[in-house]
Structure 1
Amino acid sequence: MQAMNRKIGVGVLWNLASLFLTRGAGTIFMLFLARFLAPEAFGLVAMATVVFELANAFINSGLGAALIRSKDVSEADLNTVFYTNLLLSLVAYAALFTGAPYITAFYSQPELTPLIQVMGLVVFINAAKVVQTAVLSRKMDFKTRMKANTLSVVVSGCLAVAAAWSGWGVWSLVVQMLSSALISALVLWLVSQWRPALQFSTESFSRLFSFGRNLLAEGLLSVLYQNSYVLVIGRFFSAELTGLYFLAKKVSNLIAQQLTGAVQGATFPALSTLQDDNAALRHKYRQIMQLMMFLIAPIMGLLAGLSPVLFELMFDERWAAAVPYLQLLCVVGALYPLHALNINLLNVKGRSDLVLKVGFVKKAVNLTLLFLAIPFGVIGIVISQVIGTFLALIPNTYFSARLVGYSLFDQIKDVVKPLAAAGFAGISAWWVAQLEMPFLILSLLFAGVAGLLIYILASVLLRAEGARMIWLKVNDRLTKKFGKKAYGGQ
């Protein structure tokens, strides 16, 4: 178990390093682009992104995850997945290219046709790196993936800013997406030792697809659901409102989904070795859940409280209307680890069939709420997303209780303390930010520090388990470094 903790810890650290380098750089470039571009430009790209991400789900879901989870992988398995993904990507791109005019008619946005046809190339580029990524994940070589991701984000961001500066408008965002995918794929191919051979095994395809098909279906449902809000807003409202929602969603996802994804990516290969030991798996997942909520909840709470000052400081007045969207989406983000880690648990247990069932139920509920909210405008749609997030906890945790005994009630007990502390912190930060200050940056600084101190104090008073885990880890490290005498020992 000690070796397992160390293995997971190293993987998480590299994934987090990749997160902060790539997403941090990506955020900076996004801020620059938002200063140059109007919300309408982001809205058009968001509309186009819906369809090409749906096509991208064919190659990112299913077979790649099946390779990572498999205990033993042969060359035949790798080659089969590689050529299958290439074929699927060609079919998907052909569908995007020919279907672009119809998608344009759906949105009533003539500018979308060339955008979709060019952006769709990302699908083919991503297909070429699925196996390379899976091989590195199996080796838990997150350092190499970090280098590839960091380089692609920095170079593509610079190219996009240069394009926006030169007046390319919405096409600067297309430049960013294409160059990022291409550079990442090239770097992975340069550093990886695996190369495809002319080999295809029907046995490998059948075995891997038996697991991957459910993840493929779940991936398609997830992409359709996750982008359904952009799709509906783009269809029934303006490109400007779509862009405002898209930016708010992008900022909220930056923390919750990416941080959780970093932990999932690092823990999935290691925890798969515990799939037959329910007690050990439940114990490890409780630790991960408590720690993730302790880290993510305060970030989302503070982001919600500080968002008015942040937007005033970073963007011009065109983006101010996105603030209430972001504040509501922070609630969704705070609960995201609960949803993601429960789904990850089902994947570790090899029950991709249950992943599909859970996904179908919660998406049906949330889509129903979405369409009922259309008459209430974009703010009503975002509120429906918050309501759906709470309701989705029921199906998401049902099978976790059945498989490993980790019930909804147990999970609520594990997360309620950091959520309560984060709520106090967010409200405190918002209140301090309202005080008169000579500079906005001072308001942001004082409000952020005040909110963080409130969170730490509330966590200690509530005896949050995540705080105890971090303290024990820090205390153990310091004890090893300085000896017992530093802590009053012998």
Structure 2
Amino acid sequence: MKLGDSPLKSAIIVVSLRWIDRLIGFVSTLILARLLMPEDFGLIAMASIVIGLAEAMLDVGVNVFLIQARNPSSAHYNTGWTVRILQGFLLFLLLSSASPFVAQYFGDERVQFVLIGLAFAGWVATFENVGVVNFQREMRFSQEFRYLFTRRIFGFFVTIGLALALRSYFALVIGTVTMRLFGVALSFWMHPMRPRLSLEKVSEMMGVSIFLMLKNIFMYVDGNFHKVLLGGGTNTTSMGGYTVACEVADLPSSEVLSPINRVLFPMLTRARDDIHEQLRIMNLTQGIHLLITIPVSIGLCLLADETVRILLGEKWIFVVGALQIVAFFNITSSVISAPNYLMMANGFFKVVMWISFVQLCLFGFAFSFSPWPITMENVALMRLVCLGLGTIFGYYVFKKLVPQAQIKDLFANSIRPVLASIAMTLFIVYFVFGAISDRNEVSRFMITALTGALVYGVTVVFLWLLQSRPAGPEMYVFERLKERFGK
């Protein structure tokens, strides 16, 4: 791929393939939601949060280091593989020792077993062939997809089979361990690299990883502190419901933003000697993020009740209020995600770390002085407000760090999606809801979603034409369609 190409040329492939992979995971969640109880998901969520925090505390950024390295040698890969294994073993020992105290904090002794089981699965995963990182480094995303897809489909059938047989959280733990073991074997089958134990380049790796590790800690805590507080202040049912609500609301991010960002980071890294090219890539990617996540987030808020009833079932109806709030989390991610990747591609891990730290402090302050009781809805609302304030601060820092960036570009990326989403919302509220109130939830969902998508799409195109077709995501789509069908 040429350096000047849009990230979307690769991202379209990645998003298309990644959708299939993520669809399997989402279908798995929906099936498990029908087979298991909310408290089963709560137990897994409680343990997963603790594991994620410990992983962030020990993560020295092996993959990022190898992707950023200009000409990594076999010694670099051997060191990275060894460091990951040592990190995983230390993590397993740490979490096993801490498991009784974690179970005591969450008020459920079952968390101890889940924590130990998932920590062991995490250690197993560190033995995966470090060579697979080259799928992303060399932008061979179809191979990366085959690896992730095969591992995911195996885990899907194993976990669903266990859930049918056991009908308990044991299925989730055993399924995770089994999938990790399969992933190790698969990674060595798919990539010819045969790493060996070595710490030859450990000083070089650690020299650039300290701020990356701190950034990971702050970003993880910032993204999960609200769940920790909810889990400690409520029960496994509320925790399970909130976690599933976040997963449903995270679909725009996991299905679109994450795959695009996997392309964005290596492209920005390759263009790090040309800040104007980096900004071009960043602005186009950010435009795609906003074009998708703003209407989807608003649509999910409008259709939260139907979404829960159709996808999860009546026993999950208590999560509707929280889902309506967390649906808006992705909009803030759309604003700051691409600038964060640009800063990281240029080695400004320390800055990204401090942005996450400030955002975390905002939530801690809000939670400490809040007069509201600890509920799913209240925690979600505080989180949303703090995300908004943190995004404003992060963009301010980014502008100071990269003076070539223009605020008008952010405005240009957001104005059409915002106005079109407002038009979509007004049309649905005033013309659609009243006309379909007597229909069942499936009909209401389909009619509202299709009508909303049509109104949004037509409005975006109209505004784009009204502004004389400015450069941006709409122009990119138009040019690609013209290339394909114009002849």
Q: How does the TM-score come out when normalised to structure 2?
A: 0.92
In 2, Cα distance between the equivalents of 1:453 and 1:362? 36
In structure 2, the CA distance between the partners of 1:198 and 1:176, relative to structure 1 (3 Å rule), is closer
Counterpart AA for 1:188? S
Q: Residue by residue, what CA displacement relative to the aligned partner does 1:362-409 show, whole Å, maximum 9, x if unpaired?
A: 221123223444733321111111111210122321332134322455
Deviation at 1:178, TM superposition (A): 2.5
Q: 1:187 to 1:423 in 2, by over 3 A?
A: farther
Partner of 1:240: 237
Q: Which residue of 2 aligns with 1:487?
A: none
Q: Tell me how far apart the structure 2 counterparts of residues 418 and 245 of structure 1 sit (CA, whole Å).
A: 28
User: 1:273/1:81 Cα in 2 relative to 1: closer, same or farther (>3 Å)?
Assistant: same
Distance 1:183 1:426 in 2: 46
Which residue of structure 2 aligns with residue 472 of structure 1? 479
Provide closer, same or farther for how the CA distance between residues 133 and 403 of structure 1 changes in structure 2, counting only shifts above 3 A: farther
Paired with 2:364 and 2:408, the residues of 1 have a C-alpha distance of 26
- Counterpart Cα distance in 2 of 1:86 and 1:68: 19
State how 1:326-475 maps to structure 2 within 5 Å. Answer: 326-373=323-370, 375-376=372-373, 377-404=375-402, 405-408=404-407, 410-426=409-425, 428-429=427-428, 432-433=432-433, 435-463=436-464, 465-475=472-482
Deviation at 1:416, TM superposition (A): 3.1
Mapped contact 1:306–1:433 kept (Cα < 8 A): no
Post-superposition offset of 1:184: 2.9
More displaced 10-residue stretch of structure 1: 131-140 or 281-290? 131-140
* Within-5 A mapping of 1:81-480: 81-129=80-128, 131-201=130-200, 204-373=201-370, 375-376=372-373, 377-404=375-402, 405-408=404-407, 410-426=409-425, 428-429=427-428, 432-433=432-433, 435-463=436-464, 465-479=472-486
Distance in 2, Cα, partners of 1:408 & 1:365: 24
- Counterparts of 1:112 and 1:342, CA distance in 2: 38
> C-alpha separation between the residues in 2 aligned to 1:372 and 1:183?
47
How far apart, in 2, do the equivalents of 1:458 and 1:182 lie? 49
Higher alpha-carbon deviation: 244-253 or 174-183: 174-183
Aligned residue number for residue 488 of structure 1:
none
Deviations 1:222-255 (A, max 9, x none): 2222221221111011211111110110111232
Q: Secondary structure at the match of 1:227?
A: helix
Distance 1:6 1:188, change over 3 A: farther
Residues 35-46 of structure 1 aligned to structure 2 (within 5 Å): 35-46=34-45
Q: Secondary structure at the match of 1:416?
A: helix
User: More deviation in 81-90 or 287-296?
Assistant: 287-296
SS in 2 for 1:98: helix
User: Offset of 1:7 from its aligned partner?
Assistant: 7.7
User: Which 4+ residue blocks in structure 1 deviate beyond 6 angstroms?
Assistant: none
The alpha-carbon deviation at position 68 of structure 1 amounts to: 0.5
Q: Which residue of 2 aligns with 1:486?
A: none
Task: Sort the Cα spacing of 1:184 and 1:70 in 2 relative to 1 into closer, same or farther, 3 A.
Answer: same
CA drift at 1:298: 2.2
Q: CA deviation at 1:101?
A: 0.5
Per-residue CA deviation, residues 82-134 of structure 1 (Å, 9 max, x unaligned), is 11111111111100111100111111111111111111112212322372332
Contact 1:225 1:367 in 2 (8 A): no
Q: Is the 8 A contact 1:119 1:174 kept in 2?
A: yes
Aligned with 1:214: secondary structure? Answer: helix
- Contact 1:290/1:415, CA 8 A, preserved across alignment: yes
Aligned mates of 2:112, 2:66 — CA distance in 1: 35
Cα displacement string for residues 312-368 of structure 1 (whole angstroms, at most 9, x for unaligned residues) = 222222211111211111111122122221210111111112122222112211232
Aligned partners of 1:65 and 1:134 also within 8 Å: no
Contact 1:366–1:384 (CA<8 Å) still a contact in 2? yes
Q: Distance in 2 between matches of 1:177 and 1:254?
A: 21
For 1:16 and 1:239, locate their aligned partners in 2 and report how far apart those are by CA, in whole Å. 34
Q: Which moved more, 1:102-111 or 1:127-136?
A: 127-136
Structure 2 Cα separation of the partners of residues 254 and 401 of structure 1: 29
**How far off its partner does 1:61 sit?**
5.3
Greater share of helix: 1
Letter in 2 for 1:475: K
Amino acid at match of 2:389: L
- Partners in 1 of 2:225 and 2:344 — Cα distance? 24
8 Å CA contact 2:283–2:409 kept in 1: the answer is: no
C-alpha spacing 1:173/1:419, structure 2 compared with 1 (3 Å): farther
Q: CA RMSD in A?
A: 2.2
Total equivalences in the alignment: 477
Q: Give me the whole-angstrom Cα distance separating, in 1, the residues matched to 2:326 and 2:423.
A: 17
What letter corresponds to residue 154 of structure 1 in structure 2? Answer: I
Q: Do 2:322 and 2:377's aligned partners in 1 also have CA atoms closer than 8 Å?
A: yes
CA distance in 2 between partners of 1:8 and 1:297 (Å): 20
Q: Which residue identity lines up with residue 252 of structure 1 in the other structure?
A: A
Which amino acid counterpart does residue 269 of structure 1 have in structure 2?
P
Equivalent position SS for 1:457? helix
**TM-score normalized by the length of structure 1:** 0.91
